[in-house]
Structures are given as structure tokens and as C-alpha cells.
Amino acid sequence: MTGERNGESYIAQLPQSSRQTQMYPKLTPAQLSRLEAHGDKLATHAGQVLTEPGERHPMYVVLSGSVEVVQVSLRGEVLVALHESGSFSGEVSTLRGVGAPVRMRVREAGAVLVIAETRLRAIVQTDPELSEIFLRAYILRRTRLIESQSGDAVLLGSTHSADTLRLQQFLTRNTFPFVNLELDSDPSVRELLERFHVKVEDLPVVLCRGTVVLKSPSNEEVAACLGMNQQIDGGRVRDLIVVGAGPAGLAAAVYAASEGLEVLVLETGTPGGQAGSSSKIENYLGFPMGISGLALAARALIQAQKFGAEVRTAHSALRLRCERQPYAIESAYGQVVSAKTIIVATGAEYRQLALPNESRFLGAGLYHAATSTEARRCGSSEVIVVGGGNSAGQAAVFLAETCRHVHLLFRSQRLAASMSQYLIRRIAETTNITVHLTTEIQSLDGNDHLERVTWKTARRDPESRDIGHVFLMTGAVPSTNWLGGRIALNEGGFIRTGSDLEAEDLLPRSRAPEFLETNVPGIFAVGDVRSGSVKRVAAAVGEGSACVQQVHRVLDA
Ligand SMILES: Cc1cc2nc3c(=O)[nH]c(=O)nc-3n(C[C@H](O)[C@H](O)[C@H](O)COP(=O)(O)OP(=O)(O)OC[C@H]3O[C@@H](n4cnc5c(N)ncnc54)[C@H](O)[C@@H]3O)c2cc1C
């Protein structure tokens, strides 16, 4: 979270001493006695391992003796914290009910209070004082693990590899602490490759806990190996399945779970959606200094899980079955999950340039996001941003902080129609940004990595430059293919809801659809995927939260 240059200002601003106290607070006798009713006492002996990395774990409140927390790195164990009497273990994975990134072991014999994950969730929902202490400590501890750039997940990759970037984005956006080593700049990578009998051609490689070697793994394989997801209980019919964990889906999950509904969230990639790829969102209410998409998503995710929403990342919805109720979704790993209602919040995917060799350079010089992960790859070189919307404007301003020069290419004649005035002004004031209007990319050239770009401006000859980094911020198309034609869409592929539905879309039904309801009763659509929605974070969050009231009406009918 704090890895973002423009990110988690609250944490960055905390003085070191107060940050340490908030990260490892001591509970008062009154707080300890409130907790007693929620846990079981366990006598401990020195050397006893309470949790191994990757294991689901309860919270341990130390009553006497001590418990050490260590990170298992390739160089052995690194002490992260020592919990003594009155202190408690855990970090965000404890609340999420997923694998721990650390080992917890008793140093001095004594006793701990063992508080199971469900009890812990009940405490944070009902005891505001303890909730604030636990959540703040958990977020700060996870942030410290990320900052320490150590951990039991090591990514060995190359700056020229698209798959390396994919895995960096996946781990970073899941706020999972990992060590990032690149062949091009770190001599230790070759030693590690030899030690683990891996060839350069196998890169990227993820080493899990120093024992499991994953060669060029998918996001799903990494998530499974690192214990990021719990098993899904496919036998249960939930009140609601939310598909997509962008701002709209996360808002729906927070409101639905906080109002007592049983909610499962499925997310193809990582929480945050398009917003998660924004370096700095400045127009979202309540964040006058702006907030990175990553920080916003991380906060929303922990909020949803605090209320008990089950969230599965790297877990796609592949097909909707809505012929009968309860509705079912075929998801990744051949699982089928069912629910009485569904909210589709699958947003949109990035539009391509439609150049023949474009896919070859995706992640190897062509990017659809401009966060610090991508910016690191550009160093101080000259870069291109394509697009005329706010996402392009933000990317140009952000990249201009570190890149020598930013060329902003836009195919229309004016930025004012599509970009906010504050960004247009900021671009005009930034001397190392040049705006090229009525300009389009004509060709991309390079071998393994993008090396040269040719663009064409109206009524001028094409211009070629040795530029290896292009950011495509050219809008998006709705993610609706997985719906299999059962949900009514408009001509652009966006989902019709409420009064936007045509008479022929509607199935025989006894009532008019709710404002955010699709042609299938009990199936809703919110955020960017919905026809007529305002493509903004605040609008997506508003629709996701408002939709829950309509879900209640369907469930109560
Ligand atoms: C770089 C960038 C910067 C932006 N900056 C701003 C800004 O400053 N201010 C602003 O107001 N707006 C901004 N926007 C727009 C804003 O991010 C979007 O309007 C908002 O994210 C839409 O939210 P959503 O939840 O509807 O969809 P999305 O954010 O698109 O999220 C949809 C989620 O669904 C998941 N998904 C898709 N298909 C499936 C499937 N089959 N199964 C499971 N999961 C699936 C996707 O992986 C994704 O995580 C920006 C957009 C971009 C790209």
C-alpha cells in the first residue's frame, strides 16, 4: 500500500513512534477481560509453532510468556515482532481467513487466548474500540511487511517480460508482501536459478516459502500456492453473489455484508478493478489530497471482509445459469456456486489499438495502467500516453514526475470535451508534457520489447521515435461475454437495467424491474458495465451500495 508514490498518506504521515505503538498496541486489563469470552485459553511451551506460513490462523492474544513472529526468507528467518503479555498476533490475512505470510512460534512458555476468525469478525463488528485497535494494527503490519521487501514469496523475473509485469501487478494489487528480483539488474538471480535448477527461459519464477518453485505460473497458481483464497463451499446457497471486485462490486459487498446478507465476491484479477490501476484518484469525495487506486481498493477489501463478505481473487465467473432459481455461476476450477440474487459488477476491459503486432508488446512496452509498478520500468526515459480522458491525463501528469518527457497523443481536436479542467491545466503547466492532438499511433516495432513507435498527425508526415514505453488509456469495452446472451445488452454490449429495458427484453414477470435490475428478476448490474452509467469511481460506489436495497426487496418478496 505505501509502496505507491502517491499512496497511503495517512500511514506515511504518522510519526515513527506513534506508528510503532499503533502497530503493536498493548491491550488494557479491561480490554483483555472483554476478549476472554470470545476465545479459549491455551497453555504454550517454548518452541511451539502456532502457525506456519500459508496456514489459516486464529488471533493469539498473549496472556503470559511471549510469541515471536518471523518471516521465512531465502536467507533464513527474519524476526518481525515479539508479542509479550497484552499484545496480540495477526495482520490482514487473519481477518480474511487466508494463509499467513509469516510463522508464529512461542518463545517463552506461558498462555495465549485463541480467538477464531469468526469470533474475531464478530468482535470487530460489535466492539468499536477493539475494532479500531485491531484494524489499524493489521493494516500497519501488512504495510510494514510490504515495505520490508522480504518475505516467503520471491518473484524472479525480467524487466522485458510481460508475464513478470503481470505477476508484479497481481502480487502488488493483492497487497501481498514479496521480494522482487530482476535478472537484468540483480546478479543474485542467476545464483538462485542455479540453486533451484531453473533455466532463464523458465522466467518468471515464483519461489514460495523457499521450497515450491512455480515456473511461469498463472495468477491462479500463485494465489493457490500462497494461500490467498479459502476453499469455496459450493453446497451453500448464498443470498448474493457479486461478480467483480472493482469499486462497484466492493461497495455492494460492504453494504450487503454489513446488512447481514451472506455474500460471495468473485474476482478474475485483483480487487480494485480499473480504479486499482489509477496512480491517483483526486475527485473521489473525502480524499482532498487524492488516493491511489491501490490504497482505496485495499481499504474497501478489508472493510468488506470485516463485515464477513467472502472474497475470492484470481477466480473468474465463467458462465451464468439463470434458467431457474437459485441462480448459479460456473466459476474457475470447475466450481458451481449458487445464490438467490446476483449483482454483475464486471466493469470494462481496456480497448486495444487494433495494430497487428500489438499483443506481442503487451506488458513489454505497452501498458494499460500507470502506477508505480509500470513507472519503475520506464526509469527516466521518454514515454507516450495515448488517450484524451481523465485516465490519460492522470497518467501523463504522474509519469512526468519521473520520465524525461511525456507525449500525450489524442485523436480528436480538443481535450476539453473529454478531460477535466484541473487535469488540462496541470498538463499545460508541466513543461515535460507535449500534447499532440489529431494524432494516432501508426506502428510499433521491436523484438522482445517495444523499441520504436511511429505516429501520424493530421496533414503531416508520420514521425518515428525510439520510444519503448506506451501507455494506452483509450477507454474500455464492457466485460459481458461470460453472460452467454441471457442478459439484455445494448448495442455497445453494456447491460440494460430498469427503464432502459425494452419491452421485448422482459421475461413474463409480475412486477416492473428495479432501477438497477436486469431483464432477469433478481439479477442486477452496477457500475461501468451498466448501460447509461457514469464511468466514475463515485458513481460505481453509489450504484453498488444503492443496489443492496433493491436486493433486499427481492429477497423479502
Ligand atoms: C487508469 C484509470 C484511472 C481512472 N481514474 C479515475 C478517477 O480519477 N476518478 C474517477 O472517478 N474514475 C476514474 N476512472 C474510472 C473508474 O476507475 C471506473 O469508472 C470504475 O473503476 C468502475 O468501477 P466498476 O466496479 O464498475 O468496474 P471496474 O473497475 O472495471 O471493475 C470490474 C471488476 O470486475 C472484474 N471482472 C470482470 N469480468 C469478471 C468475471 N467474469 N468474473 C469475475 N470478475 C470479473 C474485473 O477484473 C474488475 O476487477 C479511472 C479508470 C482508469 C482505467
Residue 413: burial class (beta carbons within 10 Å; 0-12, 13-18, 19+): exposed
Q: How far apart are the first and last CA of the chain?
A: 42
Ligand 1 atom with minimal separation from the 369 CA:
1
Residue type, 5: R
> What's the gap in Å between 270 CA and the centre of ligand 1?
11
Ligand 1 centre to CA of 246 (Å) is 5
Tell which one of 278, 291, 316 to mutate to probe ligand 1, the residue whose CB is within 8 A of the most ligand atoms.
278
Q: Is the CB of 537 under 6 A from ligand 1?
A: yes
Highest mean pLDDT among 33-37, 356-360, 413-417: 33-37
- The 10s digit of each residue's pLDDT in 231-290 is 888 889 999 999 999 999 999 999 999 999 999 999 998 999 988 878 788 889 999 998
Decide whether any atom of ligand 1 lies within 6 Å of the 390 Cβ: yes
Beta pairing partners, 61: 88, 113
Count of CA atoms in the C-beta half-sphere (13 A) of 314:
22
Q: Is the CB of 248 under 6 A from ligand 1?
A: yes
Burial of 159 (0-12, 13-18, 19+ CB in 10 A): middle
Cis omega (within 30 of 0) on the bond before 15? no
Among 417, 249, 449, residue whose Cα is nearest residue 346: 249
Cell numbers 453446497 correspond to 235
Helix-then-strand count for the chain, H and E: 16, 26
Q: What is the pLDDT of residues 337-383, one digit of tens each?
A: 999 999 999 999 878 787 878 878 887 899 988 888 889 889 999 99
Cα separations in angstroms, 392 against 223, 457, 522: 31, 18, 36
Q: Check residue 320 and report its DSSP letter.
A: E
pLDDT-above-90 percentage for the chain: 62
Residue nearest to atom 22 of ligand 1 (CA): 528
Give the number of residues written for the chain.
Answer: 557
Q: Over the Cα atoms of the chain, what is R_g?
A: 25
For 148-186, the pLDDT digits (tens) are 776 678 999 988 788 998 999 899 888 888 988 988 888
- Condensed to tens digits (0 to 9), the pLDDT of residues 62-80 reads 999 999 999 887 778 889 9
- Closest ligand 1 atom to residue 272 Cα is 49
Respond yes or no on whether the N-terminal peptide bond of residue 326 is cis (omega within 30° of 0).
Answer: yes
Comparing CA positions, the residue from 315, 221, 203 lying closest to residue 268 is: 315
CA pair distance 341, 506, nearest whole angstrom:
17
Global confidence as pTM: 0.83
Alpha-helix residue ranges (DSSP H) falling in 401-536:
421-429
